Structure 1
Amino acid sequence: MTPLEARPWCAGAVVYAGRSRTTLAHEGFGWAVRYASYDAGTDRGVELPPAARVPARPDTLFDLASLTKLFTAVVAVRCVERGALDLDGRVASYAPEFTAAARHGITLRQLLTHTSGLRPELPLYACAGEAEREAMLRTEEPVGEVGAARGYSDLNLLILQRVLERVTGRPLDALVRDLVTGPLGMDDTRFNPPADLLPRIAATEDQRRPWAKLDRGMLRGVVHDENAHAMGGVAGHAGLFSTAGDLARLCRALLGGGAYEGRRVLAASSVELMLTAPGLGFEVDQPWFMGELAGRGAAGHTGFTGTSLVVDRATDSFVVLLANTVHPRRRPPVNTPRAAVATALARAVGAGAGPDGR
């Protein structure tokens, strides 16, 4: 076992578990910032002096990584509700410049269910500029059968982002703010967080080759995902920062059929569509990160930086786990802690409990 493998799963984490109207737990553990750098020679993180470390607190902001996809999906479904998009409409109908998607008849539903056949990612960060990135994305051919087996891909949400921006004439960050985070009062959830929030933001990776795709040093307050970074920090697949408390508001809106504290962001029928297998943007009944919450229609998602979210309508409960598992350096993902937290919630609320706890 190497020293890096011997370290804890994450430097720090925040857990928020709750129900529609009650909070069961909301606590921070460990360090939001523990390391100054990563030493490849010793395979260890270079720890900051204790006085310089930053503890993980309930209001710590984390890089959400792929939890961003959930927000892009909610924006898309809101546009469907307003008649601006058709779930079964083809990408070519809205953004014909995506010639490969047009040639294969890829639909918005296939993007949201990851059945487009597209590969997981592209090295957009290696392109010389925006024009080259867009050309790569627009001409990328599916590698699998379109409309067949699910194959998770960041490209689905990047293409969906372009469709949303084309149809609305507005950038994704504005759409997320106006259609999701603003109405729900998620004041700490944003792309490219401002400097005044930095003291509350957890660090991620000492990003250097060969383990990373770019040489950027220790990251804090800037997006970890290299492709999202290349796109200015605003991307359909990654880029949002948030707190567990803010994400609890989203979870409670979903448990409430699309509304929270009198503010509606989705129709109840849309929530049903998003959270029912195969899900739209959300993954459904995945034991590898949902633990014992899986099996009754629980829905959620994970993020590469160590984040996860699970909503279980069967028990009127949810759990948010935000962690910086890539601090000071990325490593193969270990999902046991995610599943364990979800299982602890499942056992606490009981498989058949309703909103009143009985």
Structure 2
Amino acid sequence: MDAQIRDIVTTELAPTATAADPGGLAAAVYAGGRVTFFNYGFADAASKRPITPDTLFNLASLRKVFEATLVALGSARGELRLDDPVGKYLPELHGDYISRVSIGELVTHTSGLLLPTDHPPWPNERFSRDQFIAMLNAWTPPPGVAPGKQRIYSHAGYVLLQLVLERRYEMPIGALIERRILQPLGMTSTFMPERTEDNRAVLAPAIMQRVVQGYSDQGTPIGPPGNQESYYDFAGTGQMFSSARDLGIFIRACLDGAVIDPELRAALAMTERESFRIDEKIGQAMAWEDVRLDGVTIVDKPGGLNNASAYIGLVPARRFGIVLLANRGEYPHEIARYRILPAIARLYPPPMPIR
């Protein structure tokens, strides 16, 4: 079966990461209790530095999965409640609408929030924490929008979730993720660095040497290695960086939780459960989407910037999954959801019904 899985993955991935394509691609597949790595192209085309399982990529919105796990873990431990209003932790939020939004609605994208930083035309300026709070207090929804009544993907909602978590635990978001998720799982190559004035990640030189150069989908270099992008200029609002090897550890924990702490195992499983139905095929969980295709349910999360693409897809019922990391914008990650994962699923018998 290992050879069959390798054939499926290489057949689909190789044409998307040829010598003519910008940058490169790192993939990790967890199946049958093992992680297999696939590497294509260059971390830096100018120096011909190749992609390896230890190359570090910008995770873009995959960061949200880790913040959702913090919420689930806090809920399981009785440290917070999903129905807590955000104002319980941030009393400076007193606007009519935002005061009715809960933690659970932020983490499932059902708050209704849609700020200027969430959609085109993208703003040219960056916002301070005070400006962000002011925007939230002043925000009014369009007709028909109410907390918990719709799914609207919101980056701003997760920036607010960061502030809630930091206030609840009196700790920066990076330290929370490190102590509560990365250290327990043994993920030693995943980082949430602060950034310099020119938006470069603050990382030790030995670590920075493993970071990719990012490219547009047309092959233009964008920013230096370690480039971070954010519309906010306060601490903790940049991106995470990780490797295919470290994310292989993460998907193994999601799929085969017997190897980790029971509370963290339960929290990871909690994040994957659908809480809001979007349409007949797709439901929203905590950061993840639950996708029902013919004969298989996929739990996944994409992320992307103009110089980075990332994807995690899981099939929990059959305990396999995939990570895709590319150092270019607009990588076609949909091939994992619609082609690779369904093809691998056909190699595994469906789980027996519980009687």
Instruction: Report the CA distance shift for 1:56/1:89 in structure 2 as closer, same or farther (over 3 A).
Output: same
Partner of 1:107: 102
CA RMSD across the alignment: 3.0
Instruction: Report the CA distance shift for 1:267/1:320 in structure 2 as closer, same or farther (over 3 A).
Output: closer
5+ residue gaps, structure 1, are 1-5, 35-47
Give the drift of 1:162: 0.8
Cα deviation code 1:6-39 (max 9, x no counterpart):
995652011100136222x2021011112xxxxx
Cα deviation code 1:174-202 (max 9, x no counterpart):
00000000111100101123332122111
Task: State how far apart, in whole Å, the 1-side matches of 2:222 and 2:248 are.
Answer: 31
Give the drift of 1:298: 2.2
Structure 1 ranges of 4+ moved more than 4 A: 6-10, 101-104
Give the drift of 1:112: 1.2
Partner of 2:210: 200
Q: Which moves more between the two structures, 133-142 or 194-203?
A: 133-142
Give the drift of 1:131: 3.0
> Could you tell me the TM-score, scaled by structure 1's length?
0.75
Instruction: Report the CA distance shift for 1:88/1:196 in structure 2 as closer, same or farther (over 3 A).
Output: same
Task: State how far apart, in whole Å, the 1-side matches of 2:215 and 2:188 are.
Answer: 25
Give the drift of 1:206: 7.0
Partner of 1:247: 247
Task: State how far apart, in whole Å, the 1-side matches of 2:351 and 2:22 are.
Answer: 32
Give the drift of 1:130: 4.0
Q: In structure 2, which of residues 227, 231, 245 is the aligned counterpart of residue 227 of structure 1?
A: 231
Task: State how far apart, in whole Å, the 2-side matches of 1:67 and 1:309 are.
Answer: 8
Instruction: Report the CA distance shift for 1:70/1:306 in structure 2 as closer, same or farther (over 3 A).
Output: same
* 8 Å Cα contact 2:126-2:231 kept in structure 1: no
Instruction: Report the CA distance shift for 1:113/1:227 in structure 2 as closer, same or farther (over 3 A).
Output: same
| Letter in structure 2 aligned against 1:198 | M
What SS is found at the alignment partner of 1:149?
A: coil
Partner of 1:176: 177
**1:85 equivalenced with 2:87 (yes/no):** no
What SS is found at the alignment partner of 2:37?
A: strand
What SS is found at the alignment partner of 2:297?
A: coil
Task: State how far apart, in whole Å, the 2-side matches of 1:132 and 1:105 are.
Answer: 20
Give the drift of 1:336: 4.0
Q: Which moves more between the two structures, 309-318 or 295-304?
A: 295-304
Cα deviation code 1:273-307 (max 9, x no counterpart):
321213112111176xxxx7xx6432120111210
Instruction: Report the CA distance shift for 1:138/1:206 in structure 2 as closer, same or farther (over 3 A).
Output: farther
**1:276 equivalenced with 2:273 (yes/no):** yes
Task: State how far apart, in whole Å, the 2-side matches of 1:344 and 1:323 are.
Answer: 22
Task: State how far apart, in whole Å, the 2-side matches of 1:301 and 1:131 are.
Answer: 30
Task: State how far apart, in whole Å, the 2-side matches of 1:17 and 1:145 are.
Answer: 39
Task: State how far apart, in whole Å, the 2-side matches of 1:114 and 1:145 are.
Answer: 12
| Letter in structure 2 aligned against 1:273 | M
| Letter in structure 1 aligned against 2:321 | F
| Letter in structure 2 aligned against 1:221 | G
Task: State how far apart, in whole Å, the 1-side matches of 2:85 and 2:62 are.
Answer: 25
Task: State how far apart, in whole Å, the 2-side matches of 1:79 and 1:194 are.
Answer: 31
Give the drift of 1:121: 5.0
Instruction: Report the CA distance shift for 1:138/1:82 in structure 2 as closer, same or farther (over 3 A).
Output: farther
Q: In structure 1, which of residues 91, 96, 110 is the aligned counterpart of residue 91 of structure 2?
A: 96
* 8 Å Cα contact 1:16-1:245 kept in structure 2: yes
5+ residue gaps, structure 2, are 1-17, 194-202, 276-284
Partner of 1:29: 40
Task: State how far apart, in whole Å, the 1-side matches of 2:63 and 2:139 are.
Answer: 22
Give the drift of 1:60: 0.7
Instruction: Report the CA distance shift for 1:172/1:103 in structure 2 as closer, same or farther (over 3 A).
Output: closer
* 8 Å Cα contact 2:30-2:251 kept in structure 1: no
Give the drift of 1:152: 0.6
| Letter in structure 2 aligned against 1:314 | A
* 8 Å Cα contact 1:124-1:136 kept in structure 2: no
Cα deviation code 1:200-255 (max 9, x no counterpart):
11122479xxxx9xxx95231132x2226x334x23xx511001111121211122
Partner of 1:350: 348
What SS is found at the alignment partner of 1:226?
A: coil
Instruction: Report the CA distance shift for 1:231/1:286 in structure 2 as closer, same or farther (over 3 A).
Output: farther
Give the drift of 1:321: 0.7
Give the drift of 1:103: 4.8
Number of aligned residue pairs: give it. Answer: 305
What SS is found at the alignment partner of 1:170?
A: coil
Task: State how far apart, in whole Å, the 1-side matches of 2:288 and 2:20 are.
Answer: 28
Partner of 2:223: 218
Partner of 1:136: 135
Q: Which moves more between the two structures, 116-125 or 184-193?
A: 116-125
Instruction: Report the CA distance shift for 1:336/1:254 in structure 2 as closer, same or farther (over 3 A).
Output: closer
Instruction: Report the CA distance shift for 1:227/1:103 in structure 2 as closer, same or farther (over 3 A).
Output: closer
Task: State how far apart, in whole Å, the 2-side matches of 1:20 and 1:71 are.
Answer: 25
Task: State how far apart, in whole Å, the 1-side matches of 2:109 and 2:340 are.
Answer: 26
What SS is found at the alignment partner of 1:126?
A: coil
